[in-house]
Amino acid sequence: MKTHQLPLERIDSHRWRIPRHGGMKVDGLVFASDAMMQTIRGDQSLQQVVNVAHLPGIVGHSIAMPDIHWGYGFPIGGVAAFDARDGVISPGGIGYDINCGVRLLGSGLSRHDVQGRMREVAESLFRNIPSGVGARQQTVRLSHADLQGVLKRGAGWAVSQGYGAPRDLEHTEESGCLAGAEPQYVSQRALERGRPQLGSIGSGNHFVEVDYVAEIYDEQVAGALGLFKDQLAITIHTGSRGLGYQVCDDSIKTMQRAAQQYGIAIPDRQLCCAPLNSPPAREYIGAMYSAANFAFANRQLITHTVRETFAEVLQRSARDLRIEVIYDVCHNIGKFETHTVEGQARRLCVHRKGATRALAPGHPQLPAVYRDLGQPVLIPGDMGRYSYVLIGTRQGGEETFASSCHGAGRLMSRTQAKKSARGRPIVQELEAQGIYVRSAGRATLMEEIPEAYKDVRDVVDVVHGAGISRKVVQLRPLGVIKG
């Protein structure tokens, strides 16, 4: 069925329903404005929402966030929860960049403290943090035992080696480590790809960005998070690099065989999956959690380099700079959680692909410092506009399995963006706005031009208006390091 022929019902100004039909086991639920829906209809992402609703054991709805766009199997911006006993796990619902995520660092600095120094800051960050396709680490060289420690312990391994402090872990989703990682299920090829890449950002839409707090929408929550007007903040967006990609690639082949073995009918072979209680699923989860822990450790090492770089440029001690982790969130992940479905608490495997966990106030998995607030939700935009910090809500906990959007969402393919940017002085355009950009190559900048993305303000307004997350602050960029 073509996307424009799908049955689609407008629920309210922020929600749309795709009624259950054909082999769908649940309805589709899409968060979008009227204007966004016109764009969303232009690709196959809504059909992917329908396809996901066919999978065994799915509960609630097949959900799409307003940054939805076409992806492998699941749409990017897709959320689906599967019963832990009767459901499945699908690598297409987690993605190739396992635990691609965002870490926000606050500081004791004002943007005025770097006035006239941002070019130097950007140059130093670019020099100190490896970036680009195949970028190889400079921070630490991993022995086999070290790499096993990374895969089992995540950010905790990095802190134990002196790359940060225990407080960093307290402000990281799952304390920076997913229990249940089984490195023995990670292929040798994945290990080889990951070993030289710890502490690097890679390419594409990954970045390290120096921002300032431009707008505050909720003074009380912002204060509790340690954010204040004009504060200098640093955003780190990267994941598990080549290791995670290889884990996904390896698992696709296994899951295609598993779907046939267990007689699972799927409308798209990219939705290959296995029952959660089967050996193929357990092996994939063990490898996927290992890759997720690599990503946590990766962002932890980059945090260490950011702290050292600011101390070097500003000639101030790290303690004086007070560069602290506000929070660190996963995007592409599948996790076992307990949620209420039709009045009953059920253990579920929640797939979030290009979506962010957004726990409600009082949730026991939140660190004590944020338990009364809800989970910080970090939503980066494009390199020329703004990003947002939101907070989880009870509405989101009830309606979306505590999930929110994860970014702006692409409007143009990378090929289209390159065509649009051909001949343009992108670096100079951004410098004219007071944003200093460094990149390993011009191709990445062309692919990542601001207009290649939806305006993240529109995306955030939908999740805020729908009540599934609430706006706290807006951040604006001063300097961007790209792959």
Residues classed as catalytic = 406
The number of beta carbons lying within 10 Å of the beta carbon of residue 270 is 18
Contact 205, 480 (CB under 8 A): no
Reading the block at residue 255, the tokens are 């899951």
Report helix, strand and coil shares of the chain as percent, to nearest 5.
40, 25, 35
Q: Going by DSSP bridges, is the β-strand pair 436-439/469-482 parallel, antiparallel, or unpaired?
A: parallel
- CA torsion sign for 122, 126, 132, 137 is negative
Return all residues near 290 (Cβ < 8 A) that are at least 6 apart. Answer: 151, 152, 181, 182, 183, 185, 186, 247
Q: For residue 240, give Cα distances in angstroms to 106, 158, 443, 477.
A: 23, 14, 22, 24
Contact 61, 78 (CB under 8 A): no
Return all residues near 113 (Cβ < 8 A) that are at least 6 apart. Answer: 232, 314
Q: For residue 372, give Cα distances in angstroms to 88, 221, 354, 366, 474.
A: 33, 10, 26, 9, 22
The number of beta carbons lying within 10 Å of the beta carbon of residue 260 is 11
Is 434 exposed, middle or buried, given 0-12, 13-18 or 19+ CB atoms closer than 10 A? exposed
Three-class SS state of 114: helix
Q: Which residues pair with 59 in a beta bridge?
A: 81
Is 144 exposed, middle or buried, given 0-12, 13-18 or 19+ CB atoms closer than 10 A? exposed
Is 459 exposed, middle or buried, given 0-12, 13-18 or 19+ CB atoms closer than 10 A? buried
Q: For residue 135, give Cα distances in angstroms to 17, 195, 196.
A: 43, 11, 8
Query: What kind and span of H or E run contains 333?
Result: strand 333-341
